[in-house]
A and B are shown apart, each in its own frame.
Chain A
Amino acid sequence: MLELVELTKVYPGATAPVVALDRVSLTVGRGEIFGVIGRSGAGKSTLIRCINLLERPTSGTVRVDGQDLASLDTRALNAARRDIGMVFQHFNLLSSRTAFDNVALPLEIAGRKPAEIAPRVAELLELVGLADEARRYPAQLSGGQKQRVGIARALANRPKVLLCDEATSALDPETTIQILDLVADINRRLGVTVVLITHEMNVVRRIAGKVAVLERGRMLESGAVYDVFTRPQSETTRSFVAETVGYSLPAALRATASRHPGVGAATLLRVDLTDAAAREPLVSELSRRFALDLNIVAGRIDEIQGRPFGSLAMIAAGKPDCIETAIGHLRQRNVHVEVLGHVPADDRPAA
């Protein structure tokens, strides 16, 4: 549906040229919700703006539904843009128009007749749950309502692709969830392909099926959301993961363990829980099979797309070679285990 090949964008910049995108390639399938996550300045907005050519790529190609937009003349480009809806962080609604007339704008631009426009707008406002607010001006709407108008407007010309540039970043957490669920619902009902960019892990986690991680214009990794976040390849991805399932160990414990690396009679372990590990009675199994006492000191378990995902920190006490075997056993079953150090009996902080 959407194909970016070796996309590069260089801005002139005030002093030196800024490479906002560095040979980014990715493919988004029809009907997918594709998330692009990255810190501020990573090049996310540039990426999404290159898709509808609000920004001209320096090199590389963008194909939407097989069509290379850069090859089109102005007229054809404008027509192609009607097949790509866009939702903005700051809504970008016309303050001089009511909710109704804002949603009507793309239809007017496409040259639709008023008789066609009115029922279509009513239908769209109904879809986003704003039928009662049609006559209100943006200044009279809440942030969440404004974004609903923005979404209705983006869908007006029945686009094949919906681009969301930080669509929830100006909203509070509760409203964020409502808007994300609306986007997911629209994706399901209308089959529209969604590309959403964000700096928030929770946004991707909630609705995206696939994700690409962007940093300084480079794509670090991409794939199914569950895979990318359960097996992060880069520090950046790990830091995003830590935002949702992160926890901090008691500082004293952490300090002690780091002074005594390796396995000892009481070893501090971090065990990542993914599908396999989280479904099984891991703790009791280890305890029984390897004669260990397991004391969970910190942890967090969450879900990505209904699949468990998290991490536990525990102190395993027992014979050091039994602990080694237990670690080997876990690793053999593809459970990620990290030995954070051990805690000698005379150096054990009061728990």
Chain B
Amino acid sequence: MSRQMIDLLLEALAETLAMVGAAGAVAIAAGLPLGVLLLISGKGHILENRPVNVVAGALVNAVRSTPFIILLVAIVPLTRLIAGTSIGTQAAIVPLSIAATPFVARLFEAAMREVDPGLIHAAQAMGATRLQIVLKVLIPEARPGLMAAATVMLIGLIGYSAMAGAIGGGGLGDLGVRYGYQRFLPEVMAAVVVVLIVLVQAVQSLGDTLVRRYSRR
């Protein structure tokens, strides 16, 4: 493989990492409160509120059931509003974040649901506020599960980011399609796939290590 090809590959990898990193950060930052809301507004929980729970749940389901490729096109005006453009790596971060947030929110919700309700009762008996229960009990106790959820989400984002290439998002997927498919350079396609496999493995291992590190059960 030529020097030039390797440079292209590295550049594409950097773009993928930037997209996944930024969208992942947004998804975690927005998905955690959303996941908490989905959980604690549920029946019998500390902020039981049926309307909120139903609306939040419906919104999350709506975004999750929209195929990513459609979401990508459908929110172009929003993307333009936020990123100032609808093409390029930066623009791709918008739909990626929007797709990943409800996805990871559901995973976060499920992880926090596993926290023993007895711990919430104990905190309530201590006179904890709802915010304290979330910050001192739910999130810390669910931490390994939250990390596993974030890992799953990041790996999903790596796959989605390849599709974002369709709106000129750049990254490894884009490189694979343009060189490997359109210019018929199968070795580039193969190289892209290998890099993606290594990337996914690396994220998974890092995630597993963190989960293990914080599991105290």
Interface string of A149-171 (1 = CB under 8 A from B): 00000000100000100000000
Q: How far is the CA of A82 from the CA of B126 in the complex (A)?
A: 5
Whether the pair B217, A81 counts as a contact (CB closer than 8 A) is: no
A86-B122 CB under 8 A given contacts A94-B140, A96-B214: yes
Q: How far is the CA of A81 from the CA of B126 in the complex (A)?
A: 6
Q: Is the interface of B mostly helix, strand, loop or mixed?
A: helix
Q: Which residues of B contact A85 (CB under 8 A)?
A: 125
A78-B128 CB under 8 A given contacts A90-B118, A105-B136, A109-B123: yes
CB of A44, distance to nearest CB on chain B (Å): 15
Q: Which residues of B85-144 have CB atoms within 8 Å of chain A's CB atoms?
A: 116, 118-119, 121-129, 132, 136-137, 140-141, 143
From B116, which residue of chain A is reached at the shortest CB distance? Answer: A92
Q: How far is the CA of A166 from the CA of B122 in the complex (A)?
A: 14
Whether the pair A86, B127 counts as a contact (CB closer than 8 A) is: no
Whether the pair B127, A81 counts as a contact (CB closer than 8 A) is: yes
Whether the pair B216, A52 counts as a contact (CB closer than 8 A) is: no
Whether the pair B216, A109 counts as a contact (CB closer than 8 A) is: no
Q: How far is the CA of A340 from the CA of B140 in the complex (A)?
A: 63
Residue A97 CB within 8 A of the other chain: yes
Q: Which residues of B contact A137 (CB under 8 A)?
A: 216
Whether the pair B123, A86 counts as a contact (CB closer than 8 A) is: no
**Contact with A97, one of B121, B124, B126, B140 (Cβ below 8 angstroms):** B140
Residue A5 CB within 8 A of the other chain: no
Residue A255 CB within 8 A of the other chain: no
From B126, which residue of chain A is reached at the shortest CB distance? Answer: A106
Of B123, B141, B143, B216, the most chain A CB neighbours within 10 A belong to B216
Residue A265 CB within 8 A of the other chain: no
Q: How far is the CA of A111 from the CA of B177 in the complex (A)?
A: 57
Residue A95 CB within 8 A of the other chain: yes
**Contact with B127, one of A88, A90, A110, A163 (Cβ below 8 angstroms):** A110
Residue A139 CB within 8 A of the other chain: yes
Whether the pair A94, B118 counts as a contact (CB closer than 8 A) is: no
From B141, which residue of chain A is reached at the shortest CB distance? Answer: A96
Residue A182 CB within 8 A of the other chain: no
**Contact with B125, one of A52, A94, A95 (Cβ below 8 angstroms):** A52
Q: Which residues of A contact B216 (CB under 8 A)?
A: 95-96, 137-139
Whether the pair A54, B141 counts as a contact (CB closer than 8 A) is: no
Q: Which residues of A contact B122 (CB under 8 A)?
A: 86, 88, 92
Q: How far is the CA of A96 from the CA of B137 in the complex (A)?
A: 9
Whether the pair A86, B125 counts as a contact (CB closer than 8 A) is: yes
Q: How far is the CA of A85 from the CA of B143 in the complex (A)?
A: 27
Of B116, B123, B125, B132, the most chain A CB neighbours within 10 A belong to B125
Q: How far is the CA of A90 from the CA of B214 in the complex (A)?
A: 22
Give the number of residues in B that approach A within 8 Å (Cβ atoms). 21
Residue A195 CB within 8 A of the other chain: no
Q: How far is the CA of A137 from the CA of B144 in the complex (A)?
A: 15
Q: How far is the CA of A138 from the CA of B140 in the complex (A)?
A: 15
Interface string of B205-217 (1 = CB under 8 A from A): 0000000001011
Residue A321 CB within 8 A of the other chain: no
Whether the pair A95, B141 counts as a contact (CB closer than 8 A) is: yes
Whether the pair B124, A81 counts as a contact (CB closer than 8 A) is: yes
Whether the pair B125, A96 counts as a contact (CB closer than 8 A) is: no
CB of B46, distance to nearest CB on chain A (Å): 11
Q: How far is the CA of A143 from the CA of B106 in the complex (A)?
A: 34
CB of B40, distance to nearest CB on chain A (Å): 15
Residue A347 CB within 8 A of the other chain: no
Q: Which residues of B180-198 have CB atoms within 8 Å of chain A's CB atoms?
A: none
Whether the pair B217, A80 counts as a contact (CB closer than 8 A) is: no
Of A81, A85, A137, the most chain B CB neighbours within 10 A belong to A81
Q: Which residues of A contact B217 (CB under 8 A)?
A: 95, 139
Whether the pair B126, A94 counts as a contact (CB closer than 8 A) is: no
Whether the pair B126, A109 counts as a contact (CB closer than 8 A) is: yes
Of A86, A96, A105, A106, the most chain B CB neighbours within 10 A belong to A96
A92-B119 CB under 8 A given contacts A97-B140, A139-B217: yes
Q: Which residues of B contact A110 (CB under 8 A)?
A: 126-127
Q: How far is the CA of A106 from the CA of B129 in the complex (A)?
A: 11
Residue A79 CB within 8 A of the other chain: yes
Residue A108 CB within 8 A of the other chain: yes
Q: How far is the CA of A74 from the CA of B131 in the complex (A)?
A: 13
Q: Which residues of A contact B118 (CB under 8 A)?
A: 88, 90, 92
Whether the pair A78, B127 counts as a contact (CB closer than 8 A) is: yes
Q: Which residues of A contact B123 (CB under 8 A)?
A: 105, 109
From A85, which residue of chain B is reached at the shortest CB distance? Answer: B125
Q: Which residues of chain B have a CB within 8 Å of any CB of chain A?
A: 116, 118-119, 121-129, 132, 136-137, 140-141, 143, 214, 216-217
12 contacts between A and B (CB under 8 A): A74-B129, A78-B128, A82-B126, A88-B118, A88-B122, A96-B143, A97-B140, A105-B126, A105-B136, A110-B127, A157-B126, A163-B125
Q: Which 5 residue pairs spanning A and B have beta carbons closest together?
A: A81-B127, A78-B127, A92-B122, A86-B125, A92-B118
If A84-B125, A106-B126 are given as contacts, then 12 extra A-B residue pairs at C-beta distance below 8 Å, sorted by A number, are A52-B125, A74-B129, A78-B128, A80-B127, A81-B126, A88-B121, A96-B216, A97-B140, A105-B136, A109-B126, A109-B132, A139-B217
